Structure 1
Amino acid sequence: MKTEASPYSFLVLPTPLARGSVTTDVTAAIRNAIVALWLAPGETIDKSALCERLGVSRFPVSEALARLQGEGLVDIAPQRGSTVSLVRIADVREYMLIRKALESEALRVLIGNHDADVIEALHANMAAQRAAAERDDSETFHQIDIEFHDIISRSMRFTKIKGIIDSARANLDRARRLIITPRRLALTIAEHQAILDGILAQDAERATRAIRAHIDAVMVELFAFAREHPEPFADGDVLEQDTFPFG
């Protein structure tokens, strides 16, 4: 007898599951699906189907959804179940401002040290970005894009600051995926190259100006997208572009 395919066939857990890590692994799998937009903003979450697909009991799934609620990725309503949270532009605006400030300072630290290994890693990353863009592989490009910024932030060697940046990432990445196009990939490469050029020139002002311009450009496109497509956003219909501190 033919069985109906799971609506969550994109979800995968490690095999075998490590003892004591089931809830963590389930949380990571669902988080990744939300950030990758496989679970769309506003989509109802079928807890029973999740349990069946992942081969786990209801407890780790319920605990995972509660954790993701704390991260702003899931809404849980009594008697109504769980849904994927809509993207909140207000949150993205704040997270991007945090990144803007912290990554600007990270660049100053990096340029002050001029770590040869970091420079080599950035060159390799730029080459990987171009290769992914040529293949029109937006998912791989997105991961390489994340690593580009991680290389810069890791140069500070401050784990708490790196943690703050990482905690903002899930909602940022979800929003950024909404505007990935071949044009945005090309622009991102050019913007990243401008940052690297500032680093290579040992010019902190040039590099920080470039990274701030990069973040501003992403926000301009996201604001425009939210105005034209308000459905995935909790607050896209009341967006005011001039509330973001550009420059």
Structure 2
Amino acid sequence: MLKLKPGQLISENSLCTRYNVSRTPIRSALSRLAGVGLVDIVPKSGSRVSMINMEIVKQIIYERFALESMVLKDFIAIATESDIKKIEKSVIKLTKSYENTKNFKPDKFKETDLSMHELWYKKTGHTYLWEQIRKSDSNYTRFCMLDMLECKNYEQVILEHKQMYEMIKNRDTSKIEEIVKKHLYGGVERVNAALSNKFDEMFIAY
């Protein structure tokens, strides 16, 4: 994801040549991508990668902040020592995946990041909610990837996961909103800091 930047024009001819197919399957694929919000098809003008709608991103973060704060509070109330150990292992795995620079893969790092969150959603019986998060709107999904790949947020993510682990281990619910808010809204601050130069052409202007 993000190999083609938001706003970038899409050449049907190039895609036909690359995949050695006619225009019909290419247009069908672009139509499906448009259906999930990843492509804008402009009649008589061609197609382009859709811009990221920052207003939608902010609303999804707001929703997830409210939800995740409640789920984490419920998790702390019922977590066993075995559950806490799993969280610890997840943080260790996340840290080691970044330290192993030779074999570091951003997509694997992101999956390890998400696996920690998945633990407390499943433990509290909110599997459906977690599945909805994983199917997040394309604006939010691409925003998260942009933050990770362009802003290089790895060390900050590791630090925040360590803070969440300590909070869970100590069964301290007093800092849930503070830590979760910092974790979820950090990307907005990082991208905003860069918005005036290399990222501004990727977002819908308001």
With structure 1 as the length reference, what TM-score do the two structures score?
Answer: 0.69
Unaligned runs of 5+ in 2: none
Whether contact under 8 Å (1:199, 1:207) holds in the other structure is no
Distance 1:144 1:208, change over 3 A: same
Per-residue Cα deviation, 1:51-83 (whole angstroms, up to 9, x for no partner): 565577766654443333233221111222221
Partner of residue 99 from structure 2, selected from 128, 131, 134: 134
Distance 1:134 1:79, change over 3 A: same
Across the aligned residues of Structure 1 and Structure 2, the Cα RMSD in angstroms comes to: 2.7
Q: In the alignment, which residue of structure 1 is the partner of 2:180?
A: 211
Unaligned runs of 5+ in 1: 1-35, 239-247
After TM superposition, the structure 1 = structure 2 runs for residues 35-184 of structure 1, keeping only pairs within 5 Å, are 36-47=1-12, 49-50=14-15, 53=18, 61-136=26-101, 137=104, 139=106, 140-168=108-136, 170-180=138-148, 184=153
How far apart in 1 are the matches of 2:19 and 2:114?
Answer: 27
The structure in which a higher percent of residues are helix is: 2
Moved more, 153-162 or 218-227: 153-162
Distance 1:146 1:61, change over 3 A: farther
Distance 1:64 1:73, change over 3 A: same
With structure 2 as the length reference, what TM-score do the two structures score?
Answer: 0.81
How far apart in 2 are the matches of 1:208 and 1:129?
Answer: 22
Q: In the alignment, which residue of structure 2 is the partner of 1:199?
A: 168
SS at match of 1:204: coil
Alignment coverage as a number of residue pairs: 201
Whether contact under 8 Å (2:75, 2:120) holds in the other structure is yes
- 1:149: how far off? 2.6
- 1:100: how far off? 0.9
- 1:168: how far off? 2.0
Q: In the alignment, which residue of structure 1 is the partner of 2:204?
A: 234
Distance 1:199 1:63, change over 3 A: farther
How far apart in 2 are the matches of 1:149 and 1:76?
Answer: 36
Structure of greater relative contact order (alpha carbons < 8 Å, 6+ residues apart): 2
Whether contact under 8 Å (1:176, 1:222) holds in the other structure is no
Opposite residue 167 of structure 1, the aligned amino acid is K
Opposite residue 193 of structure 1, the aligned amino acid is K
Opposite residue 117 of structure 2, the aligned amino acid is H
SS at match of 1:178: helix
Is 2:190 the partner of 1:225?
no
- 1:227: how far off? 2.9
How far apart in 1 are the matches of 2:21 and 2:119?
Answer: 36
Whether contact under 8 Å (1:107, 1:152) holds in the other structure is yes
Moved more, 150-159 or 103-112: 150-159
Q: Percent identity between the aligned chains?
A: 27
Q: In the alignment, which residue of structure 2 is the partner of 1:20?
A: none
